[in-house]
Structures are given as C-alpha cells and as structure tokens.
Structure 1
Amino acid sequence: MKILAIDTSGLVGAVAVSDGDILLSQFSIQYKTTHSEILMPMLDDIREKVHLDLKSIDAIAVAMGPGSFTGLRIGSATAKGLALALDKPIIPIPTVDGIAYNLYGVEKIICPMMDARRGQVYTGLYTFVPCKGEGESREQTFEMQVINEQMATSVEDIAEKINAIGKPVVLLGDGVPVYRDKLDKLIKVPYSLAPFHQNRQNAAALAALAVQYAQEGRMIDGDDFAPEYLRLSQAEREASEKGTNAVPTDKIAKAPKNPGIIRVSEMTAEDVSDAAALEALCLGKEAWSEKQLLEALSLDDTIYLVAKKAGRVVGLCGVRNVSGDGEVTNVSVSGDCRREGVGYKMVKQLLERGRGIGIENYTLEVRAGNAAAIRLYEKLGFVSEGVRPGFYDEPKEDAVIYWKRN
C-alpha cells in the first residue's frame, strides 16, 4: 500500500511517502518558515525526486490534531484537496499518537507533550506491548497501547497521571523544553528524554501508523474529514473572555456541541456491560442483553465495534456473516453524541472490516419512522428493497429492508 503522509500540526513541517514496508522519501523542516510557504514545495520536490505519480497513491495520512490551529488547517486542506481530486481515502492520525509511534518498541511509558500555551500541553500516555510470535520465529513485534488518549491538560495533571502509573517514562515533543523545570519537580518516577531525531512530529512514523490503521479499516472519505482541535482557538477564547462578538462568527471555527475524540475499536469483553446498557437505553425491549452480546462476541463470523469518547462507550454496531451476506444486527448511538458522525464512522468501519471475514453484501432492517438512521444508511450506499409490515412492536411499525450490494 502506497501512502502519502502529511504533518503540519506543530513547528515541524513533514511529508513522507511509503510503499509497503519501504520508506520511499521523507522531507522534514523545522525552521523560520510557515507551513503555507513550504508544504506544497516539499510535496513537489518529493514527487519530482522519486518520480511519484500521485494517482498511484492508495491513501493520504494526515495528522488530524491537536496542534497549531493554522498548521492543522493548512495540512488538512491540502490532504482533503488531494483526496478529493485523486478520489483517495484519508487516514486521520491523532497527532499525539503519531509522535508516540516514533518510539516503536519502547516498553516504558511514553509521554509526548506539545506546548498548548497557557500552562497546558497536548499530551497522552502510551506504551508498546510485545506481541506473541508465530511458530518458532524469534522475531519480536509490538503493538502500541494507548493508556490515556490524547488530551489538552495542565502539566500538573499529566505529571500526576505519570506518577500514578509508577513506571519509568520517556518524554518527547516541543512541550518538554518549555516546561522542563516544572516537570523535573513534578515527576516522581525515573524519566528520560527522547533524542532529537525521535522527539518531534515525523511523517515517516505517521505513514507507518497509517498502514496499521488501514489494515483495521480506519479510513474515511475526503468529504468526511475535519481536524480535531481539542479546545477553542485563541480568537474564540478571547471573544469568550471579553463576552463580546469581537471576532466575526464566520471567522471562528465551529466547535462540536460535545467536543471530544471518537475512537472506534473492536468490542472486548470489558466493553460488553456498557454496550448492553447503551443498547437498552436506545432500543428498549429490542436491545440485546449482556449474555447475547458476549455470545455474539465469541463467534468467528461476527464483528462488533464500539465507539468511545473519553473512555465512555457511546456507540455500538455489529455484523454477522451468513454465507457472504452481512446481517447488520446492532447500531446504537448515545443520545448526547448524535449528529457528531459517530454512527457514520462506526458503520463505515464495520463495512470495511467485514470484507476481512468474507462479507460481500450487507443487509439491515430499520423502523420506517427512523429518519435519521435511514439518512445514515442511504449515505453509506444502502438501498431500500422491501418492507416488513408491522414488524416492530411498541410502537407498531413497519421495518424497511435495506441492502448494500457489491
């Protein structure tokens, strides 16, 4: 898979191209230039040097945020423009995850820090866990484990989280030199600093992580991509503090009504209790029980995904393969997270991952009066092919049968 990776989330401007397990090219600059000045020339230079036909790119990976508001907008606009022009998917990579991936294989706690100003950092906590080898091979591989998802928080708060884990930590990112004296006083466990060739945004690391995301089906259309800022811009904060409309509303980035990162992953046994509670809240008597979800989870011909926000299960969807046809059995989204794209993100990944267990076509049923769900399914390419009269109870309602055929 050939991936073009772009990261303009911080002081570093970085572009890389990978093809399978080969890094074809990377270009990184951290100097007194703006991303708007250097990004396109960097892309053009790489394209020329490696004779890259952009049409041969399979996907575009981009640092989705947090980071510099201006930098994120430049990188996002470039990635989105290329994705739409080339009809290629985007692989959004959380910025802090991408920085952590610089330290692949490190089993200590990894804490990237980007300076977010006002005594705050964009940060998270990670580590790499050894994977069980196959057969008699002694090759060692690792999986990145997210301990605390990326967040905007105070230096004191992240230091407290590090101390609570009680294990040695590696610090990296442009926030470390800014708050080094404070960190030295606050951190009570042994810590080290990543060397300069590993301690900033790196498009090559972004591309490597994107390969893993692609294998998991974590890709979206260019139309659906938007950066995630984690907090308001300086203009928005100043306007809020003044209590005025000093900044024109058309110049202010729209923040989600309930901001936060939505993470979609395979459901585990630990998620089942919360997933069942969400089902019951959304579907009432039609909801699956914990026992039913656990049984479904144990089958080889099923995939169940959950969407999480700040560690809370806010979405659930599942599919079962029946002779090549995928029966979508559960789709639930928490009421406070609707209209945030949770359902779309989940079901799209479900359809993509379903191919991995041999699903060719998909079918589902939905209440005839559930306009929001119908809009979602039709957006994903489902087509109505029939009706089951009076299928649902309490209240009595028809079921519309939808199919997505390949």
Structure 2
Amino acid sequence: MLLLAMDASTACLSLALTSDDGLRLEVAQKGPATRAESVLPAVYRLFRDAQLSPSELQAVVVGVGPGSFTGTRVAVAAAKGLAYGRNLPLVAVSTLDTMAAGLPAPGLRVCPLLDARREEVYGAVYQNPCAGRPLAGYVNLPLVEFLSLLDDGPAAFLGDGALRYRERIAEHLGDRAWFAPEEHAHPRGLVLARLGRERLRAGETTDPHTLVPLYLRRSEAEQAWPKSPRS
C-alpha cells in the first residue's frame, strides 16, 4: 500500500511516501513551507522525485497539530482533498504523537513541547513514546504548569518549545531533565507514516468531511476579534 504522510504544524513541512516494503522518499522542507500555495506543490514534487504517480496513492496520513494554526489548517485541508477526491482512507495523528514516537529514550518520560507563545506550550507526556499514545490528553499550558504535571522521575524534552525554554526547564527540574538534539524539534514524515500505517491497520480512520485540526486554543486573530456587546 502506497501511503502519503504530511505534517505542516511546525516550521518544517514534513512529507513521506512509504509502501509495504518501506520508505520510498522523505522530505523535510524548512522555512515558509506552510503557506497554502506551498503544500500541494511540495506533495506533487515528492511523487515526481520518487518516480511515482499520485494515481498510485492508496492512503493519506496527516498531522493535525497542535502547532501553527495556518500550517495545520493547510495540511489538513490538502489531506482531506486528496482523500475525498480519490476515495482513500484518511488517518489523523497528533503532531505531538509523531514527535514523541521519533525519539528513542528508553526509561524516560518523553515530553514533546511546541512553543505556543505568551510563555505557554503545547505538550503531552508519554511513557511508551514509540506507540504514540500520551498518558493523558494534549494540553496548552504555561510552561511551569506543564512541568508541575511531571512526577519525580527523569524526563526527555524535545521540540521548539523545549529549545526555547531549555534554561527554565533545567532550572525547574535540574538533572532530571534531558534534552533531545535540535534535529528532533520537528516531526518526521517517516515516523508519521509508521504511526499512520499502524492506526490504519487497526481501523482508526477518520471521515474527511468531519476532520478538523487539533488547535487546543483559539487563534490570535480570533482572540483579538471584538466581542459582541451583551444584550
């Protein structure tokens, strides 16, 4: 089965094409790649470079956030269009699940953190990160409140939120905090494809008509919109 995986929830557009035999091609495109005019062209370039046709596609996996509102929305819309237009199964995976599953950290709680600005993070805590299933839900919290969720054991941190707040995390947790290399700041397309394939086999597909991004909070534009006066 030829499967396309895409995630544009961070500053890196992550794409991968995999088949039952393994990876066909993976691309990580940093920069302004999450604009609406960039995602689908990048997908079609991926097919071209892999010497495959979009008509061969059999399933779509998309990272649904949390993260960049614009990037997530664009990737989800592209995935929904591909799945609906070709009547293909569609699998939704949290960006945090993909990041956690891409970090080999045996014996550690794994905490992917994305910078949500305003001294806040999007995050989750994983005991078995390879499975891509958090211990609880996904949260949008001030950094200190997120750290208060952790027990006294060691924890591994990754993501652009971990990079930005590294000193504060280290001050709070001391030698219980371990930080992943910067290469783990973004989700990998290959890892997303693996999780998507596992969930597809388990029957965990989603309806392209009803799929929405995992935002966790309103966008800055929505928060700034004037409230209607009470009647």
* Number of the residue aligned with 1:215: 201
- Structure 2 residue runs of 5 or longer lacking an equivalent are none
Alignment-derived partner of residue 24 in structure 1: 24
1:192 Cα deviation from its structure 2 partner: 1.6
Q: Is the aligned partner of 1:203 residue 2:189? A: yes
Letter aligned with residue 86 of structure 1: R
- Secondary structure of the residue aligned to 1:26 is strand
Q: Is the 8 A contact 1:97 1:150 kept in 2?
A: no
Q: How does 1:100-249 map to 2 (within 5 A)?
A: 100-104=100-104, 106-128=106-128, 143-162=131-150, 165-188=151-174, 190-239=176-225, 242-244=226-228
- In structure 1, give the amino acid aligned to 2:123: T
Quote the Cα distance in structure 2 between the aligned partners of 1:125 and 1:21.
32
SS at match of 1:146: coil
SS at structure 2 position matched to 1:200: coil
CA distance in 2, matches of 1:31, 1:172: 19
Aligned pairs (5 A) from 1:353-392: none
The one-letter code sitting in structure 2 at the alignment partner of 1:87 is: N
Cα distance 1:70–1:143, how it changes in 2: closer, same or farther (>3 A)? closer
Identity %: 28
Measure the CA separation in 2 of the matches of 1:10 and 1:181: 22
8 Å Cα contact 2:3/2:57 also seen in 1: yes
Structure 1-normalised TM-score? Answer: 0.53
Q: Measure the CA separation in 1 of the matches of 2:2 and 2:33.
A: 28
Q: Which deviates further from its counterpart, 59-68 or 24-33?
A: 24-33
Query: CA contact under 8 A between 2:13 and 2:33: conserved in structure 1?
Result: no
**More RCO (CA 8 Å, sep 6+):** 2
Is the CA contact (8 Å cut-off) linking 2:6 and 2:63 kept in structure 1? yes
Q: Residues 84 and 221 from structure 1, CA distance in 2 versus in 1: closer, same or farther, beyond 3 angstroms?
A: same
Please state whether the residue corresponding to 2:82 is helix, strand or coil: helix
Task: Report how far residue 24 of structure 1 moved.
Answer: 0.8
- 8 Å CA contact 1:67, 1:116 repeated in 2: yes
- Give, as a single letter, the amino acid of the residue that structure 2 aligns with 1:159: L
Residue in 2 aligned with 1:65?
65
CA deviation string 1:91-116 (max 9, x = no partner): 00011111111114633110000011
Greater strand proportion: 1
Alignment partner of 2:125: what SS?
A: strand
Distance 1:189 1:215, change over 3 A: farther
CA contact (8 A) 1:166 1:189 kept: no
Name the residue aligned to 1:55: 55
Answer whether contact 2:163 2:182 (CA < 8 A) is retained: no
The answer on whether the counterparts of 1:13 and 1:35 sit within 8 Å (CA) in structure 2 is: no
Structure 2 residue 92 is matched with structure 1 residue 92: yes
* Unmatched tracts of structure 1, length 5 or more: 130-141, 246-406
Q: Does the Cα contact within 8 Å between 1:64 and 1:72 map onto a contact in 2?
A: yes
Structure 2 Cα separation of the partners of residues 84 and 145 of structure 1: 27
Structure 2 counterpart of 1:340: none
Residue by residue over 1:246-301, the C-alpha shift from the partner in whole angstroms, topping out at 9 and shown as x without a partner, is: xxxxxxxxxxxxxxxxxxxxxxxxxxxxxxxxxxxxxxxxxxxxxxxxxxxxxxxx
8 Å CA contact 2:11–2:33 kept in 1: the answer is no
CA distance change for structure 1 residues 173 and 222 in 2, over 3 Å: closer, same or farther?
A: same
Q: CA deviation at 1:143?
A: 4.0
